[in-house]
Amino acid sequence: MVKSLMDRMPLNDGFTIPGIGFGTWDVSDDEAEELVFMAIMRGFRLIDTASMYKNEAGVGRGINKAINAGISRDDIFVVTKLWEDEMGYDKATDAIKASFDRLGLQQIDLFLIHRPSKEDAVNLETWKALEDAKESGRVKSIGVSNFSRGELKELMENSRIKPAVNQLEINPFHNMEEVDDFGYDNNIVSMAYSPLAKGRALEEGKVIKIAEKYNKTPAQIVLKWAVQRDIIPIPKTKDPDRMKENLDLFDFMLTDEEMEKITRIKQASNFERGHQDHNLGKRIGVDTHNIK
C-alpha cells in the first residue's frame, strides 16, 4: 500500500506506478489541456486517457505544459488505451503510433487494451502488438482493461509478457473482489475507474459516518478504501479544490472493520450489473457501449 502521495507501487515488469491518478473520461479535447495541467500542478502524477476519449491531443498538451512549468517528465505516468475498432495486430500497431502522435510524447508509460474482444485470437493478436511496442522501448508497461479472470488467464497462458495492470470499474457498489484477488495472486495491479460510482458512493450512509469520524469527505473515505486495497483509483473532477482534496488521503488509516463495512455495501442494481457483466465472465451478449 502506498503511504504518501509520492510513493509508487511496483509493477511486475520492474517499473513503478503512482498510487492514485487523474481520470479524463468525458473530458473534451479542448478542456483536457487545462484540466490535466491543473491536476499535475496540484500533485497528480498519473494521467489516464484513451483513444476512445478523443482527448489525447489535449491531454498531451497539458502534460507538456506541466513539463515546461518545471515538472519532470520522469515523474509523470501516462496511461492510454486502444479501442475495440483498433484491435488485431496491424490495427493495434497503427493505433499505438497514432496515440503517440496525438499525445506528442516520446514514451508512454502504460498502454492498455481498452476492453476484450469476444474472440480470444483477436485479443492475442492485439496483445502481441503491445508486446512488440514494449520491447521497442517506447512503451514501458502494457496491460488490459475490463478483462475478467478467465480472459486474463487465457491471455497469460498464450503470451510472452504478463499484463502489468488490469483497469476495472471498482467502487463500493461494484468491488470486483474475485478479479482483483486473481490479479493480486498473479502480481497484476488493479486500477479503478469510476471509484466514486459517479458520486453515488458519496451518499452512502456508512461512508458518511466514517467520514465524520475522521473529519474527511466521503470522497476521501472511498478513495482511501481503494488505496488500502492496493488498488489505484483514478477519480475525475473539473474542480481544482476537489483535485487537491482527492489527494489528501495519507494522514489517516481506515480500520479493518471500516474497510469491511465499505466492501460489503449493497451491490449495484440488477439493471446496472447487466451492463457490467463483461467484467464478470465471458461475453454474454450484453450491450456494453456505456462502459468506460
- Chain Cα centroid distance, residue 91: 23
Catalytic residues: 53
Strands (E), the chain: 8-10, 16-18, 22-23, 46-48, 77-82, 108-113, 139-145, 165-169, 189-193, 232-233
Q: How many CB atoms lie within 10 A of CB 257?
A: 8
33-40: long-range contacts, CB 8 A cutoff, minimum separation 24: 33/58, 33/59, 33/61, 33/62, 33/65, 34/62, 35/62, 35/238, 36/61, 36/62, 36/63, 36/66, 37/62, 37/65, 37/66, 37/69, 38/240, 38/243, 39/243, 40/66, 40/71, 40/76
